Amino acid sequence: MSNASNKRGILAVGCYIPRLRLAKKTIAAANAWANPGLAARAKGSRAICAHDEDSITLAVAAARTALDNGTLPHISKLLVASTTLPFADRQNSTLIGEALGFSQVLQSCDLTGSLRAGTSALLNALNQDDNSLVIAADNRKTQPASVQELSYGAGGCALVTGSKDPIAIFIGSHSVSIDFTDHYRSSEAQFDYHLEERWVKEEGYLKIIPDAIKALLEKHQISPQKIDHLVISGPDSKTNAAIAKACNISPESVTDNLENDCGNTGTAHPLLMLCQALESAEPHQLILLAGFGQGCDLLLFETTERINEHKTRSPLQKTLAAGIEDNNYIRYLSFNRLVNIDWGMRGERDNRIAHSAFNRHRKTVTSFIGGRCVDCDTPQFPKRPMCANPDCRSSTGQTDEPFKDKQAKVKSFTEDWLALSENPPFIYGNVEFEGGGIVLMEFTGFEPGEIRVGTPLSMQFRIKVEDHKRAYKSYFWKAAPLV
């Protein structure tokens, strides 16, 4: 067992599960005429993205939770893992880094191509000397009436790695690369294609993972009975239990796969399950994490005394508890472009993005940076040549003033049923920030009639406009319910 506080490991963890949870019984009921067998799997709910959420916004939200700690070291490397990144040829991690307010002096990298990308990104970070931020996020589309429509979910997880007082020390790893195809999705396809379930379990999970676990434990001379938490993002709890049995690991150590709480969140799922294990772990316990996909990654950790701080924060349990059930199946289909709603003439507009203007104002738009007057100290958004304070109106200049983490509340609002919105009504109004500053903004995450003057708000990075003609998304910050 390790007792050195300066060994590399996990310093902090953050999680984000979308607030909307579609009840699986709603999916089964809507498709019972075509596939009545779905009813047997319709337990719990799955997390679904709102109309303005995707893998990038999930990643930003998860990372902000992980970084919500003033004692964390400077981040010099950003690794983002996902199989559903919106841009195939634009570095998604760079956009995420700017949304988080990171310095331009940053090494950023996208990792994709397999559901193992999340654990591979974490392993990459742990094998470097830098302080790194690892994020995994996915929002996989599913074909209506498929088994995957019940089992998939959306979510993100972020981990800070380094050597300054980790909550879990990295002990070692073992990886194998095997071109075993349990499912795949070509670059032109919209949905995953899955192979036969029993064959995947018997030839894939039950052979590849146990052999790798035995090799790892033998390499580090650790008895299987010493493993306190076994984390496997497997197809179901029975398969995970069978893997534990094959390795002589206690069945009580198998971590719940969250299937009924949010669904399988793709590249993020093994990291979310790792977070769950950390939230229940005691100091000096061993956690074995497995990531599966064309082989597997195994990572072994030992918790430290600082694990109790993480248990107090409980980022996974808090985001799971914040969910609200949504029984509107058609709305879910619309959000995922699986049914085309007729928005009338108001939807007939060209959403071309002015890239040159965006580049000039990138810090304002992506990082939500306003100004603070150097003469009267008034915060304002956006920066203007002249101070917004009518008693000052100085043109001396303004320093950068971040707004994304400020406390805020509703000052005024309008629910507009005539303006175009993919989730009507279009809600907008004035947001009053603590310490000064009033910004006219769009609200998101509120149901009709839910918002009130004085409602506390949090700023969330969301899709602002989507140019379907040119396949381009632009992002901005919106005011969301404080949870």
- Residue 191, pLDDT score: 96
Cβ atoms 335, 48 nearer than 8 A: yes
Residues 6 or more apart whose Cβ sits within 8 Å of residue 370:
364, 379, 380, 381, 382, 383, 400, 401, 402, 403, 437, 439
Cβ atoms 232, 246 nearer than 8 A: no
Cβ atoms 158, 274 nearer than 8 A: no
Please state the pTM of the whole predicted model.
0.95
- Residue 447, pLDDT score: 93
- Residue 351, pLDDT score: 86
- Residue 464, pLDDT score: 96
Distance, first Cα to last Cα, the chain: 39
In angstroms, what is the C-alpha Rg of the chain? 23
- Residue 4, pLDDT score: 46
Centroid of chain to Cα 187: 22
Q: How far is CA 367 from CA 39, 339, 403, in A?
A: 44, 33, 9
Name residue 291's beta-bridge partners. Answer: 297
- Residue 3, pLDDT score: 46
- Residue 158, pLDDT score: 98
The span from the CA of 466 to the CA of 483, in Å, is 27
Which pairing describes strands 20-23 and 324-326: parallel, antiparallel, or unpaired?
parallel
| pLDDT tens, N- to C-terminus, the chain (483 residues) | 444 456 999 999 999 999 999 999 999 999 999 999 999 999 999 999 999 999 999 999 999 999 987 678 899 999 999 999 999 999 999 999 999 999 999 999 999 999 999 999 999 999 998 899 999 999 999 999 999 999 999 999 999 999 989 999 999 999 999 999 999 999 999 999 999 999 999 999 999 999 999 999 999 999 999 999 999 998 999 999 999 999 999 999 999 999 999 999 999 999 999 999 999 999 999 999 999 999 999 999 999 999 998 888 899 999 999 999 999 999 999 999 999 998 888 788 888 889 999 999 999 999 999 999 999 999 999 999 999 999 999 999 999 999 999 999 999 999 999 999 999 999 999 999 999 999 999 999 999 999 999 999 999 999 999 998 899 999 999 999 998
- Residue 186, pLDDT score: 95
Cβ atoms 170, 115 nearer than 8 A: no
Name residue 217's beta-bridge partners. Answer: none
